[in-house]
Chains A and B, each alone.
Chain A
Amino acid sequence: MNPKRKQRLYLTLFLLLVASGVTALLIQISGENMNMFYPPADVVSGEAPVGETLRAGGMVREGSVVRSSNDLGVTFVLTDHQGADFAVEYTGILPDLFREGQGILVEGQLNAAGVFSATEVLAKHDENYMPPELMDLQGMEPPATPKSVMPGYPSAQSKADTATDRTHDS
């Protein structure tokens, strides 16, 4: 093999090695930092693992939000309106659009008693917007409230220039 080809071969081998190393690391590390999403039914049925960081979501059940009177602790119940619901506990400030009846996402861990302790609560900023994870759930279509000022214009409802409103524990 002439030296020029040899050099090129080494370079190619080196690049392949780097590329495969990076790919392996990517898959490994993203696997470790991946949060699966579970709807209420999976949380209740025990399909969601206990003690692992995961995401869950549902609608905040009416009348279930209880604020602690001396600190920022809060508990509420997430439901799919199909009979599956679970309790969430969280300490901190809730997002601006956190309301009873709204669809929200929580990130955190499920304990053995079936209570979800959230480290992060996510809601969306737009009134017509539903977090994408929740769109798939049955019986949870986004509240169909076409803006009355805009009759007959379809994209008013699908307008999604919304922002994730994040709050999370320190």
Chain B
Amino acid sequence: MIPELGNFALSLAAVLALGGSVMGLAAPRDDVLQRAAMSMVFGQWAFSLLAFAALVYAFVADDFSVAYVANQSNTLLPWYYKVSAAWGGHEGSFLLWILIMGCWMAAFSLRSGQYPLHFTTRVLGILSLLNLGFICFALFTSNPFLRLIPLTPADGADLNPLLQDFGLIVHPPLLYAGYVGLAIPFALAVAALLEGRVDATWARWCRTWTNMAWAMLTCGITLGSWWAYYELGWGGWWFWDPVENASFMPWLAATALVHSLSVTENRGTFKSWTLLLAITAFSFSLLGAFIVRSGVLTSVHSFAVDPERGMYILIFLALVVGGSLSLYAARAGQASARIGYGLLSREFFMLINNVILVVSLAVVLWGTLAPIGYEALTGGRISIGTPFFNAFFVPLGLLLLAALAFLPVLNWKRTRVEVLGGVYQAMGIAAVLGVCVWFVLDPASIVVASAVALSAWVVLTHAKQLSLRLRRGRLPAAYLGMTLAHFGFAMGTLGIAVTATQSTETDVRMSPQSSVELAGQQVTFTGVIDVLGPNYSAQQGIFILTEADGSNAYELRPEKRQYFAGGNVMTEAGIAAGFFADTYLSLGEPLEGGAWAVRLHYKPLVRWVWLGALLMALGGVLAVFDKRYARQRRKRPVADADPVTA
């Protein structure tokens, strides 16, 4: 009964989405009709919430007559994983996607007091149209409420053990919040094109939403990487896997958008470029959905394989991208403005940032689609590995750091050359540091040394400007946010460079009571005991980690788990996490005589990768709380915009 109610609620949400899109796109000038369009948005949110609650109920109540529940859950599963299993597979995760879309739309409506009502109605109409596409996809190709009657199984097939983890509870909601959140800048861009108006006020509106969506996407990707690190059990944190790339591409586009919007807001240039980026960012989040959900490839967290779904998303993608780009081609010329700027200006460095990010986007796109294209054309299979991505991302990342170091001293429009003195000073200090690192660490790795030097340079120039501002006593939240985000970028890049090149990894055969040395530490293997979890049995290795002189004993217990329901085997790593380095052990396989194959990792600065990314996200959120946006919020709603529609 409850699942049927969920299905019904979802259908109602679809009807409301249809109503909202017709109403919103017709953009009536009548106040009552505009309010009606807005209330339909709240209706979509409320009914998606009901549908989602019905699905969660089916999971918690172990209703295995629902096919999706039977596929994803099991009576032995702890209750919190039963709840999170609701978004552990394709159908449920898409329902979550719809719910999050509803949340963004509702939030936009609640915060719409600052926008002209006419404009808001348009934006909500576009969002409702997108939501209609999403809901129809769920209803017609991947309905989570389908029943298995009369063949109801006695117990479910269990949730994939990889997904039985805290990471899965939080990673998808955040990631989807990022993906779907990019629909708001998209809708704002399309509405602006329809209205034929892009100005600083529009850019200010758009920035708030873009920053929030971008920050959530950043957190989502970071959590995913961290999850892969501790849950896959083999110490990798980024695989250039197509599914990861699918989330990285919209992130790159959104990062470019965040920067280009700042230029549009402050200087009124880059207008058409900003609009194009807003369209691109959301298109890539749809492309990501296509790559992950269509089954064109199967990889780390792919969900389901079904050509029907692939075709639906592909057609939807073509309509959204084709429609918005045609509109862009027809209208964007009007938005262009010619405002000059010198080479030594913020604008120009933002341009450098955007070019680097867009080139990175092209690289990831190529590396992700080339194997699919090759297979489609020749039938043969190829794989494009990490060296391809590294060949581009190492120089591009370093270049981006170098450009970033100049940013704090630059003014809009033009900057006097004299102010660069401080930048060169900082460069001198950073270079000395880089050379030291080069001698101490590893004379061969010039890349690490330059990454250290460039990150230090970025931090120094930003810190100097920050302290200047502090002394002057004026520190807008937007400035603090930017500085934090840039610190985060420097920290993350440094972490990536160091952990990618300075980690040690060894596979050894260890018999009980034997020990090996790992990066100055002593690892002693005590033995293996059997333990029993709620839905698995495991062999747990006990390792003692000590400093070379025997001090600071630390116990690590990596596991090899066998899950009862699916018979899957999982490797649970034992991790001694530290700010400066992780020690990471995983059990391989039992060998004769009680010995085990053991993999030992020592990973310096691996935490910095994620901490840096979180700092970036924090900076993005902080920037939203700047006074100028607050002022905008307090201001009474502007009278309805003049009819300038071209």
Contact = CB atoms under 8 A, between A and B. Distances in A.
A33 B234 contact: no
A155 interface: yes
Given A91-B507, A127-B566, A163-B162, A96 B303 contact: no
B384 A34 contact: yes
Interface residues of B, number: 70
Given A30-B388, A72-B597, A132 B381 contact: yes
B298 interface: yes
Nearest to A148: B153
Interface stretch (B27-35, B192-200, B584-592): B584-592
Contacts of A163: 160, 162, 232, 300-301
Contacts of B241: 164
A33 B232 contact: no
A30 B236 contact: no
B359 interface: yes
Contact of A149 (B156, B232, B569): B156
B306 to A, nearest CB: 8
B392 interface: yes
B70 interface: yes
Nearest to B562: A96
B297 A127 contact: no
B301 to A, nearest CB: 7
Given A93-B507, A150-B153, A35 B236 contact: no
A132 B381 CA distance: 9
B506 interface: yes
Interface in A93-129: 93-94, 96-97, 107, 125-127, 129
A160 B305 contact: yes
B362 A37 contact: no
Interface string B561-576: 0000011111100000
A161 B567 contact: no
Interface in B79-120: 88-90
Contacts of B384: 30, 33-35
Interface string B360-378: 0011001100100000000
A33 B391 CA distance: 10
Contacts, number: 160
Contact of A150 (B71, B160, B302, B568): B71
A153 interface: yes
Contacts of B508: 72
Interface string B367-404: 10010000000001111110110011000000000000
A160 B157 contact: no
A131 to B, nearest CB: 8
B383 A159 contact: no
A12 interface: no
Category for how many chain A residues contact B = 35 or more
Contacts of A13: none
Contact of A36 (B299, B380, B391): B380
Contacts of B506: 170
A149 B383 contact: no
B388 A93 contact: no
A16 B358 CA distance: 14
A89 interface: no
Nearest to B160: A161
Given A72-B508, A93-B588, A94-B588, A133 B381 contact: yes
Given A30-B366, A150-B153, A153-B70, A35 B505 contact: no
A125 B568 contact: yes
A149 B588 CA distance: 31
A18 interface: yes
A32 B70 CA distance: 46
A139 interface: no
A35 B370 CA distance: 12
Contact of A55 (B153, B383, B505): B383
A166 B306 CA distance: 25
B352 to A, nearest CB: 12
A135 to B, nearest CB: 9
A34 B383 contact: yes
B71 A153 contact: yes
Given A29-B391, A126-B160, A132-B381, A22 B362 contact: yes
B154 interface: yes
A26 interface: yes
A167 interface: yes
B239 A166 contact: yes
Given A69-B592, A147-B157, A163-B301, A153 B148 contact: yes
A92 B235 CA distance: 15
B355 interface: yes
A160 B302 CA distance: 7
Nearest to B370: A30
A150 B507 contact: no
Contact of B597 (A37, A93, A136, A147): A93
A58 B22 CA distance: 55
B631 interface: no
Shortest Cβ-Cβ A-B pairs, 4 listed: A93-B588, A33-B388, A170-B505, A37-B381
Given A72-B507, A163-B162, 5 more contacts: A34-B384, A149-B156, A150-B153, A161-B163, A163-B160
Interface of A: 4, 18, 22, 25-26, 29-30, 32-37, 55, 67, 69-72, 91-94, 96-97, 107, 125-127, 129, 132-133, 136, 147, 149-153, 155-156, 158-167, 169-170
16 contacts: A22-B363, A29-B392, A35-B383, A72-B508, A93-B507, A96-B571, A126-B566, A147-B157, A153-B67, A155-B306, A161-B89, A161-B301, A161-B302, A164-B239, A164-B299, A165-B234
